[in-house]
Amino acid sequence: MGTILSYPAPPLMALPATDARRTPASAPDPRDALRRATAHLHAEVDASMPLARPNPSLADYQCHLALLADWVNALRALPVDAARLDDEARRVDADLAECDRLLHVPHHDRPMPSPSHGMAPGPFGWGVAYVIEGSRLGGQVMHRRLADALAPHSLAYLQGAGRDTGARWTAFLAELRQQLHTDDDVHAACDGAVQAFELLLACSRAQECAA
């Protein structure tokens, strides 16, 4: 079964104590630190999302998207890149609207997005972005598994950026490493990623979808 988020999840390890005076070269690799800090949450998300059910249906996909819509709105309370959230919300909403049309039963009253304040993301926000961008890789794995079963829905959300998804992820990681210079930066990013996963799990627990 494909995972919800596809980047590998190594065993959780304690991160070293921070020292903001260290040079950039001494900071842990952001990607490795982020994976380690979120490994246990990553596994929990993979097991709890609606599309993790055996042989998920279009109704399960509708539930999955509704959950993500709630999650994106919850993320707006954090110091994150509003433009990235706006893009994610548009992609979720388009597929959710297609589900509603095909099933003839609107599942989710999609709330209007909270106002975007346009703040520049700091290290914490880059950690949140890591979770969002990583989910696009996982979406492609799921698209390959579900495209035939859930046709005629296009599953456009799961396709991410299509053939450019891998290149987008590589470019994001390069920018991530440029933005996080110290141990403190990396730890703040880990806090952001952890909080993003925890909000997603909270939305999952709050959702009431039929199995």
| pLDDT number for residue 28 | 65
- pTM over cut 0.75: yes
165-179 vs 123-146: helix crossing angle, rounded to 10: 160
Domain boundaries, the chain: 28-206
How many residues does this entry show for the chain? 211
pLDDT digits (tens, 9 = 90+) for 24-37: 445 568 999 999 99
pLDDT digits (tens, 9 = 90+) for 58-95: 999 999 999 999 999 999 999 999 999 999 999 999 99
| pLDDT number for residue 174 | 95
Band of residue 111 on the pLDDT scale cut at 50, 70, 90:
low
Is residue 163 scored above 70 in pLDDT?
yes
Exposed, middle or buried: residue 170 (CB in 10 Å: 0-12, 13-18, 19+)?
Answer: exposed
Please give the average per-residue pLDDT across 126-154, as a whole number. Answer: 92
Mean pLDDT estimate for the chain: 82
Report d(CA 45, CA 43) in Å as an integer: 5
| pLDDT number for residue 29 | 86
How does DSSP classify residue 88? H
Closest CA to 110 of 68, 144, 153: 68
Buried b (16+ CB within 10 A) or exposed e, 36-73: bbbbebbebbbeebbbbeeebbbbbbbbbbbbbbbbbb
- CATH match for 28-206 among 1.10.10.350, 3.40.50.2300, 3.40.50.300, 1.20.910.10: 1.20.910.10
